[in-house]
Amino acid sequence: MDKKVLSKDGKELRTITLDDSVFSREVSEGSIYHAIRNELANMRVGTSSTKTRSEVAGSHRKPWKQKGTGRARAGTKQSPVWVGGGISHGPRPRDYSYSLPRKIKRLAMISLLSLKNKTGALHVVETFVLEAGKTKDLASILKNFGGEERTVFIISDDDKMVKRAGRNIPWLSTLSYNRLRAHDLFYAKKLVVLESAALKLNDFYGSPVSAE
């Protein structure tokens, strides 16, 4: 498929050929769901914790004798039924992360690129560099492709100046072509791709992928 390449000012310059298997395939909603779920699970810290009755500080002496007081039987003050006692079945530190099959993750990224292209949210921009690495320069370029709305900017190389310029833009996520995130792509209103990054996406995701 052919896609218009835009200048930094938003004007049409030329056309570029994009791989249909990457930017125009059938969208797999299931793979997108699993990819986003996996990313969110891997981000969870899992440090929430409560103390059981064996970990609560206090005396283990029996509060009162078993019979004759008229009160309910009690063994220790650390019992979960007491105020200040242990917690039954409370959260414990755990690892929420898990691995996702590589084919599912790859299929999800291709589906998201195709989805953004079909909805008209994908824009291919001529490759440019920011020698000064200033935020205002990058923000002024990106505003030519939409307002201040949630945007993903895909670059071809690990350009430190571009990443530094994008750090202070709250509505922007800057990603390398080989390190995409499903969560950012799915919720982005605009997807701006450098021309060099689009060509590398053709090669990186170009092999055919079958749905599971």
Q: Which domains does the chain have, with CATH numbers?
A: 2-33+101-204 (3.40.1370.10), 45-95 (no CATH)
Amino acid, single-letter form, for residue 91: P
Q: Which is nearest to 52 in space by CA: 11, 82, 77, 85? A: 85
Amino acid, single-letter form, for residue 61: R
How far is 125 from 112, CA to CA, in rounded Å?
19
Q: Please list the ranges in the chain whose pLDDT falls under 50.
A: 209-212
What percent of the chain is modeled with pLDDT above 70? 97
Specify the residue for token string 């079958």. 210
What's the predicted TM-score (pTM) here?
Answer: 0.83
- pLDDT for position 211: 42
Residues β-bridged to residue 151 = 172, 190
Residues β-bridged to residue 93 = none
Q: What is the three-class DSSP state of 127?
A: coil
- pLDDT for position 207: 62
Specify the residue for token string 């019992």. 79
Identify the DSSP state of 112.
H
- pLDDT for position 212: 42
Backbone angles phi, psi at 139, to 5 degrees: -65, -40
